[in-house]
Amino acid sequence: MDDLADLLHAPIASASLAVGGSLPATEWIDGVGYVSIFERGVSFVVDADEQIVAIQLHASGHERFSEWHGAMPNGLSFRSGRSAARGLLGSPEQTGEVQNIPVLGLKPAWDRFCTGSIALHLEYDDDPEAGVRMMSVLPQRKVA
């Protein structure tokens, strides 16, 4: 995957070439589709028309995924802690701290950065300086 952003809004079928193999069936949850390739460390989120609306890159062990070993945007890596990510990308557009949410449990710290035509949503390890556990690549949107 040389340029992840090129897959945004593309049909999910086009992702098979990008990940080097066939795709598993789409799992639908409340009208949102998920195509998870655990052994490659990547998942795709699709809309009702099966167009890719987000690409999620996973660190080793996050939600049972192997680690994504392809290119990552803007020089980031899974070892990039929060300070390093902000050093590379500047101030985040939105941010959140670790929260313990009833029923859902502990939710990690996160930052959302806008860069070019895409947004990067970084979900950090339990210790935000230890690294990124998941990176979502999304189309940029305006935040109210």
Q: Say whether pLDDT at 17 is over 80.
A: no
Phi, psi of 112 (to 5 degrees): -125, 125
CA dist., res. 69 & res. 47, Å (int): 26
What confidence score (pLDDT) does residue 65 get?
94
d(CA 66, CA 52) in angstroms, rounded, equals: 21
Q: pLDDT tens across 70-117, in order?
A: 888 888 999 999 999 999 999 999 999 988 888 888 889 999 999 888
| pLDDT confidence band for 142 (50 / 70 / 90) | low
Count of the separate structural domains present in the chain = 1
Does 117 fall in a domain? yes
144, part of any domain? no
Q: Is residue 80 part of a domain?
A: yes
Q: Indicate the pTM of the whole model.
A: 0.89
Is 33 contained in some domain? Answer: yes
Task: Give the domain range for residue 130.
Answer: 4-139
pLDDT of residue 2: 45
Query: What integer pLDDT is reported at residue 8 of this predicted model?
Result: 92
| Contact criterion met (CB below 8 Å) for 23 and 16 | yes
